[in-house]
């Protein structure tokens, strides 16, 4: 079609050229007069006719050429269309073949995925079966442990029954001894009557032989009888004490040792000062700031005093509240790592550190509750309980002390045949009031009991807490076991420390108490005040008197002093004879 268009345009152009040429051959109207006379009409008509025929012939040839070109172009277009159709058919067959190949590949991949899924399912089933088998094995092991525990409890019950029989036997023996003592008292009375008769008979003989009056002889007789009675009484007291100590001490030692040896926890010694190490001494100037504005802003926001001295690459943070001191330490540590220290940044970092410490307290409280086995504690008590992570008592971490006390109390309750759940709860919460002693005045035992009552704890738990330091007289077995477990945890070696001043005063008072006894020559306080050795003069003090002195010193130390653990009093009576050979 485009060729036909070109041919038509060419024909029109040729016709136009012919008309212009004919026009110029006739001459223009204005030029005709200048050239010459007008040609005759016949000539003009013949020229026009010849020009028309020439134009018609040329137009016919152009049309013929255009038709020829159009036919050629149509045939070329038809051939190209046929080629395109054949190519499209070939492409369609190729696409169909490719689609068939893709379909087969997809089917193969689907089959492979299905096979792999089946293999994974079989392996997963095998793993589940293996886990079920292991779970069954674990259940069997737990059942075996439960049976072993039951057998151990049965053996313990048998042992308790045997001990009860031993106690009954000991009571019967004591009754028999008491009866023997009564018989001995009657015999002593008879002997006393006989001695009175003999005294009356020999009184005159004594006056004659000794040259003493009756009053003087009576005084000497009373003195000898008193010395004999004291000696007999000391022997009897020592025998009874040894027997009671052998029975009671063994039983108490078995309970306490078994409770303590099953509890082991690390103790962290903390003070009211924390040391923060700096990357360089130049950081001290940045902490102080221009004219001290940074350090003033830090102390005002955190409530922690910053002590900057000559210690290289270190500053001290001082605060009596351990939680606030920890928040201040984290705040300053983050500011040093960040490098930007100014009042606004201090406030931002302080809020972040405070939230972080609160989260650490909650996490510590939940972890400790899970370790002890207490799960129904009021959520409002958790922040207060978690703050004990940063509280110490004589260097002993309070939260660790609560955990250790709960375990010891649980073991004691189990050994005594008491349900340990309530006892462990009382022992675990007995020092919760120490978290509020910086904010509320009063004893931590009373504060803790009021706090537990406010948050719905039972009266038995609150009573055990308020009575563990005898502010209230203990009335339940849980309160007594709470006191005992608290003492075991606090008095074990390495649990607590005390100041040097109190330690020196206690040693001086121990030596003073021992030195006031008659017949004492030297006193030595040994093993950090846990043992006192008293040297007595052997000519004035005999063995029974030495035992009496040891008991009196121990009794006075118990009444006057406060100390962890126990103090052993040893009285040494040594006689030496020295001669020189010349």
Residue 373 confidence (pLDDT): 85
Residue 36 confidence (pLDDT): 45
Beta-bridge partners for 570? 533
Pair of tokens at residue 133: 């088998």
Pair of tokens at residue 360: 């650490």
pLDDT reading at 369 higher than 80: yes
pLDDT, greater one: 277 or 461: 461
Judged by average pLDDT, the poorest of 22-31, 202-211, 373-382 is 22-31
Mind listing the pLDDT tens digit for each residue in 472-517?
A: 888 888 888 888 888 887 766 555 555 556 767 788 888 888 888 8
pLDDT reading at 304 higher than 80: yes
Region 406-431: mean pLDDT is 87
pLDDT reading at 441 higher than 50: yes
Q: Please indicate, yes or no, if residue 580 is contained in any of the structural domains.
A: no
Region 292-301: mean pLDDT is 86
Q: Please indicate, yes or no, if residue 319 is contained in any of the structural domains.
A: yes
Mind listing the pLDDT tens digit for each residue in 48-60?
A: 777 778 777 777 7
Distance CA(407)–CA(259), nearest Å, equals 8
Q: SS in 3 state form for 178-232?
A: HHHHHHHHHHHHHHHHHHHHHHHHHHHHHHHHHCCCHHHHHHHHHHHHHHHHHHH
CATH number for the domain harbouring residue 538 = 3.30.70.1350
Region 375-392: mean pLDDT is 83
Note whether 134 and 69 are same-domain residues.
Answer: yes
Q: Please indicate, yes or no, if residue 42 is contained in any of the structural domains.
A: yes
User: pLDDT band for position 30 (50/70/90)?
Assistant: very low
Q: Please indicate, yes or no, if residue 125 is contained in any of the structural domains.
A: yes
- For the question of whether the overall pTM of this predicted structure is more than 0.85, the answer is no
Distance CA(267)–CA(129), nearest Å, equals 45
Note whether 348 and 469 are same-domain residues.
Answer: yes
Tell me which of 209, 237, 261 is where a domain ends. 261
Residue 433 confidence (pLDDT): 85
Distance CA(341)–CA(172), nearest Å, equals 81
Residue 34 confidence (pLDDT): 41
Residue 214 confidence (pLDDT): 64
The range of the structural domain enclosing residue 293 comes to 273-491
Region 14-41: mean pLDDT is 52
Tell me which of 94, 127, 155 is where a domain ends. 155
pLDDT reading at 269 higher than 50: no
Distance CA(392)–CA(398), nearest Å, equals 5
Residue 147 confidence (pLDDT): 77
User: pLDDT band for position 376 (50/70/90)?
Assistant: confident
Distance CA(113)–CA(314), nearest Å, equals 64
Alpha carbon separation from 368 to 165, 397, 460 (Å, rounded): 41, 13, 22
pLDDT reading at 217 higher than 50: yes
Note whether 305 and 389 are same-domain residues.
Answer: yes
Contact between 281 and 312 (Cβ < 8 Å)? yes
Identify the helix (H) or strand (E) that includes residue 532: strand 531-536
Domain count, the chain: 4
Note whether 12 and 150 are same-domain residues.
Answer: yes
pLDDT cut 90: percent of the chain above it: 1
Contact between 525 and 511 (Cβ < 8 Å)? yes
Residue 37 confidence (pLDDT): 45
Q: Please indicate, yes or no, if residue 532 is contained in any of the structural domains.
A: yes
Contact between 258 and 415 (Cβ < 8 Å)? yes
Distance CA(564)–CA(490), nearest Å, equals 7
Place of tokens 């009888």: 225
Distance CA(184)–CA(190), nearest Å, equals 10
Residue 322 confidence (pLDDT): 80
pLDDT reading at 114 higher than 60: yes
Residue 50 confidence (pLDDT): 78
Pairing of strands 305-307, 314-318: antiparallel
For all residues of the chain together, what is the average pLDDT? 77
Tell me which of 491, 525, 558 is where a domain ends. 491
Distance CA(19)–CA(397), nearest Å, equals 124
DSSP state of 387: G
Note whether 294 and 360 are same-domain residues.
Answer: yes
Residue 266 confidence (pLDDT): 41
pLDDT, greater one: 19 or 558: 558
Residue 173 confidence (pLDDT): 80
Q: Please indicate, yes or no, if residue 568 is contained in any of the structural domains.
A: yes
Pair of tokens at residue 369: 């509750």
The set of residues, in sequence order, having a beta carbon less than 8 Å from that of 570 and lying 6+ positions away, is 531, 532, 533, 534, 550
Distance CA(330)–CA(276), nearest Å, equals 10
Note whether 356 and 398 are same-domain residues.
Answer: yes
Residue 299 confidence (pLDDT): 86
Q: If you compute the radius of gyration of the chain from its CA atoms, what whole number of angstroms results?
A: 58
- Pairs from 51-59 (Cβ < 8 Å, separation ≥ 24): 51/18, 51/19, 51/21, 51/22, 54/18, 55/14, 55/15, 55/18, 55/19, 58/11, 58/14, 58/15, 58/18, 59/11, 59/14, 59/15
Distance CA(466)–CA(97), nearest Å, equals 91
Beta-bridge partners for 275? 316
Note whether 363 and 383 are same-domain residues.
Answer: yes
Q: Please indicate, yes or no, if residue 189 is contained in any of the structural domains.
A: yes
Distance CA(392)–CA(268), nearest Å, equals 8
Residue 294 confidence (pLDDT): 84
Note whether 150 and 169 are same-domain residues.
Answer: no
Note whether 181 and 300 are same-domain residues.
Answer: no
Q: Please indicate, yes or no, if residue 73 is contained in any of the structural domains.
A: yes
Distance CA(507)–CA(524), nearest Å, equals 9
Mind listing the pLDDT tens digit for each residue in 116-135?
A: 777 777 777 777 778 777 87
Distance CA(5)–CA(1), nearest Å, equals 6
Note whether 409 and 308 are same-domain residues.
Answer: yes
Taking phi first (over 0 means left), then psi (-120 to 50 degrees means alpha), and beta for anything else, what does residue 457 get?
beta
Note whether 44 and 70 are same-domain residues.
Answer: yes
How many C-beta atoms lie closer than 10 Å to residue 485's C-beta?
Answer: 31
Note whether 482 and 532 are same-domain residues.
Answer: no
Distance CA(324)–CA(326), nearest Å, equals 5
Please give the full DSSP string across 369-427, using - where no structure is assigned: HHHHT-----GGGHHHHHGGGG-EETTEEHHHHHHHHHHHHHHHHHHTT--HHHHHHHH
28-42, 164-178, 225-239: which is most confident: 164-178
């Amino acid at each position: 079609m485009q060729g036909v268009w070109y041919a038509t345009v060419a024909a029109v152009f040729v016709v136009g050229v012919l008309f212009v040429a004919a026009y110029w051959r006739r001459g223009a109207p204005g030029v005709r007069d200048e050239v010459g006379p007008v040609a005759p009409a016949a000539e003009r008509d013949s020229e026009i006719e010849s020009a028309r025929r020439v134009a018609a012939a040329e137009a016919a040839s152009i049309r013929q050429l255009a038709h020829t070109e159009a036919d050629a172009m149509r045939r070329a277009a038809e051939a190209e269309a046929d080629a395109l159709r054949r190519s499209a058919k070939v492409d369609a067959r190729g696409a169909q073949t490719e689609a068939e190949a893709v379909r087969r590949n997809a089917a193969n991949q689907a089959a492979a995925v299905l096979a792999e899924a089946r293999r994974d399912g079989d392996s997963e089933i095998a793993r589940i079966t293996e886990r079920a088998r292991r779970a069954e094995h674990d259940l069997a092991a737990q059942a075996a442990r439960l049976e072993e525990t039951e057998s151990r409890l049965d053996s313990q019950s048998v042992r308790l029954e045997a001990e009860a029989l031993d106690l009954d036997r000991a009571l019967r023996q004591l009754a028999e001894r008491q009866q023997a003592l009564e018989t001995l008292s009657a015999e002593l009375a008879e002997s006393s009557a006989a001695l009175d008769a003999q005294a009356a008979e020999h009184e005159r003989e004594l006056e004659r032989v000794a040259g003493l009056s009756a009053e003087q002889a009576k005084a000497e007789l009373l003195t000898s009888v008193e010395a004999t009675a004291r000696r007999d009484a000391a022997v009897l007291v020592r025998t009874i004490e040894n027997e009671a100590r052998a029975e009671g001490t063994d039983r108490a030692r078995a309970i306490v040792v078994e409770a303590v040896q099953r509890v082991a926890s690390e103790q962290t010694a903390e003070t009211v000062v924390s040391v923060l190490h700096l990357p360089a001494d130049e950081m001290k100037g940045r902490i102080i700031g221009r004219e001290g504005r940074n350090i003033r802003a830090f102390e005002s926001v955190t409530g922690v005093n910053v002590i900057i001295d000559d210690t290289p690459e270190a500053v001290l943070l001082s605060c009596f509240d351990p939680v606030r001191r920890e928040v201040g330490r984290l705040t300053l540590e983050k500011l040093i790592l960040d490098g930007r220290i100014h009042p606004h940044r201090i406030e931002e970092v302080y809020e972040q550190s405070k939230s972080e410490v609160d989260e650490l307290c909650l996490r510590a409280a939940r972890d400790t509750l899970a370790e002890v086995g207490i799960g129904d504690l009021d959520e409002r008590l958790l922040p207060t309980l978690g703050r004990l992570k940063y509280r110490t008592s004589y260097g002993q971490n309070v939260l660790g002390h609560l955990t250790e006390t709960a375990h010891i109390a649980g073991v004691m309750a189990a050994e005594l045949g008491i349900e340990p759940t309530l006892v462990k709860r009382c022992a675990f919460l007995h020092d919760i009031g120490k978290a509020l002693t910086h904010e509320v005045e009063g004893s931590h035992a009373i504060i803790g009991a009021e706090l537990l009552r406010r948050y719905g704890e039972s009266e038995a738990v609150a009573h055990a807490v308020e009575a563990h330091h005898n502010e209230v007289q203990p009335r339940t077995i849980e309160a007594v076991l709470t006191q005992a477990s608290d003492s075991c945890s606090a008095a074990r070696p390495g649990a607590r420390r005390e100041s040097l001043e109190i330690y020196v005063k206690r040693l001086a008072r121990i030596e003073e108490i021992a030195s006031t006894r008659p017949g004492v020559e030297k006193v030595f306080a040994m093993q950090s005040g846990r043992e006192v050795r008293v040297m007595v003069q052997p000519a004035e003090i005999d063995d029974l008197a030495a035992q009496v002195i040891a008991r009196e010193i121990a009794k006075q130390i118990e009444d006057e002093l406060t100390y962890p653990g126990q103090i052993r009093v040893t009285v040494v009576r040594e006689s030496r004879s020295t001669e020189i050979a010349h």
